[in-house]
A = this chain, B = another copy of it.
Amino acid sequence: MARFLKDRSKAKGLVPGSLVLIGRQKMDQPVIQLITYDKNNLLEESVDSVSSIQQKLSADKVNWINIYGLHDLEMIKKVGEEFKLPSLLLEDILNTDQSPKYENGENYDAFIMKILHQEKEANRIQAEQVTLILGENYVLTLQERKGDFFEVVRERIRKNKGRIRISGNDYLAYTLMDTLVDNYSILIETIGRQVEDIEDRLFKTMDSKIVEEIYRFKTELNYIRKAVRPVREFITTLLRTEDSFFKEKNFAFLKDLNDLTVQCAEAVEMYNSMTSDQLNIYNSNMSNKMNEVMKTLTIFASIFIPLTFVAGIYGMNFDYIPELKFRYGYLLFWVVILIVGGGLLIYFRRKKWL
């Protein structure tokens, strides 16, 4: 289960800024990849150690360093030294519970965000943390494990699609964030479609699975909201930050990203209120059904219980029950039965129960 706050007991009582991975180790060996490109050149290489990675960066090209795996604390420390990142930031990178946030350092802009994906089998949303660090001449991404989430961006770089090869590091950072938010919107859409599909079943069936699904959607929307909302806020902050590494000519992209994020946040709220409405409606329908069931029971019981009583009377063995001797006693019995039964039927019809 994707927990909101992971087990922090490891971190308890630690010096602030001391490094510890909060969350599970998700792969064996950390992997470091470097992609360097400009309009005409593209170099992808795998790097063994971060120690001397600064020398590999080309000042006039875009340098994208991918790091997968966060459990090698020594390596993370070296990353910090190499790129002059403060220990508090490193701590945040390792705390995979960290809410999304933006930090404007002297020599970097750091973005902590979440990769959300819906596990098919578990029908649950899983969150992975990804940290984007944009420096003067590099983009550094740190993920919990190797995945193909950013493969679309790498493909775009390789195939030289769009403006990515002719734009700078900040555009790459934007592209990565855009990929993340785009992913949120697809996820929301998937859930939204399921929410809207419930609508069609809501008035046709009383299947109690609906309640379970509604609850699941509510929980998932909660998780997504938690990933999306801070992004909206930090883009606003970013746009106002004067000394960020985002060039102003790329602000239009950030604004567009902001619009998409706002749209996501609104869709989450809207689907959340739809699920609440659906739950209310389900309960109303349930009451309706219950009422119908109770009416049926009441009509059956209220008609036949008195009649059974009458029949019981003439099943008694008293020595002297005059009605039993009447010539038309049995006939009379039926007349009484029909009158009483019919009267009750009319009574219930008057009450509009029939």
Contact = CB atoms under 8 A, between A and B. Distances in A.
B8 A189 contact: yes
A270 B218 CA distance: 11
A308 interface: yes
Contacts of A280: 279
Nearest to A259: B101
A152 B12 CA distance: 9
Contact of A203 (B179, B202, B212, B270): B212
Given A215-B202, A300-B305, A284 B283 contact: yes
Nearest to A297: B298
Copies of this polypeptide in the complex: 5
Which applies to chain A's interface (DSSP): helix, strand, loop or mixed?
Answer: helix
A256 B112 CA distance: 14
Interface of A: 1, 3-9, 11-13, 15-18, 86, 88, 91-92, 97-99, 101, 152, 155-156, 161-164, 174-175, 178-179, 182, 185-186, 188-189, 192-193, 196, 199, 202-203, 206, 208, 211-212, 214-215, 218-219, 222, 226, 252-253, 256, 259, 262-263, 266-267, 270-271, 273-274, 277-291, 293-298, 300-302, 304-309, 311-325, 327, 329-330, 333, 353
